[in-house]
Amino acid sequence: MSDKEQFETVNDGLLVRAPAKINLSLLVAGKRPDGFHDIETVMAKVNFYDEILIEPGLKAGIELVCKGPHWAPEGKDNLVYQACQMLLNSCGVWTDIKITLTKNIPAGSGLGSASSDAAATLIGIDQYMEFGLGNRQLAKLAKRLGSDVAFFLDGPLALCTGKGEKIKKLTKKFGFSALLILPDVSVSTKKVYANYRANLHVYESLSARINRHIEKNRIDLVSEMRTNMLEISCFRLYKELAELKARIESLCIGPFCLSGSGSALFYCIEKNEVTRADKIKKQITENIGCTTIIVSNNKW
């Protein structure tokens, strides 16, 4: 995957790219009174994108068109539609607008594509309509759309806590490449969290280690821990993913980690080890047969 700019002018429209994310670490505590779980996660954007094209509308109101290799809900069920409507309403503006979402990142993969799409829509509509709101005001809307949305307004690397909506940007640059496995499995985040069994002792112990690494700007050591406390819950529900991970690791490549609540798996390597990454990708394709792509840390 090659690095691309966030914005691109297309005729009289604006193309906005929405990057995927991986969780370099993911800690999950017990359920809160509001039904959510407290989490602590280091998230990194990668250069694998959905695309959102914003153009003048030919139909009344908001027209959302979804295309691309992966499914996305149409109309008001899509966070892109909701983000656009929410932003226009908050600014007291009613206009005809067309949004075309090209879905390259599969849903239910733990790569945050729906949240990233929503954030890209907020940023894109703000720029396209020349509202000039900025990230701070957009973040207030982002929190209403989903826990991960605020992260995608900035970045590219952050420590996210609370439900995921409390964002601490990490300014230390962490360059990496990753082998990203995209199984043909759509995971329900809701089910994975409902099936999760909290272990506060493990949470606190891992949190202390990760925060020590962050204080020393050693994000590489956070990544090397390969910590995802949702992995057991996900694998209980989706045994085929546990089996896939075991098959991949039997090739003696190295330990893979689940991103988010799944289903994507990733393995980070040094950014300059492109030749090794190509060899590993070929090895997985020939022996396992699942979709594998090489991604790098996103620059914005």
What pairs with residue 19 in β-bridges?
49
Known catalytic residue at 148 = yes
| Angle at CA of residue 252, ends 249 and 258, nearest 5° | 30
- Supply 128's token pair: 């396209």
User: Which is catalytic among the residues 21, 45, 103, 245?
Assistant: 21
Known catalytic residue at 278 = no
Rounded to 10 degrees, the C-alpha dihedral 268/273/274/280 comes to -60
Report the distance separating Cα 138 and Cα 83, nearest Å. Answer: 10
Report the distance separating Cα 135 and Cα 156, nearest Å. Answer: 14
- Supply 284's token pair: 């997985």
User: Which is catalytic among the residues 50, 117, 126, 148?
Assistant: 148
CA distances from 291 to 150, 183, 281, 294 (A): 29, 7, 9, 10
Contact 257, 235 (CB under 8 A): no
Distance of CA 175 to the CA centre of its chain: 17
Catalytic site residues?
21, 148
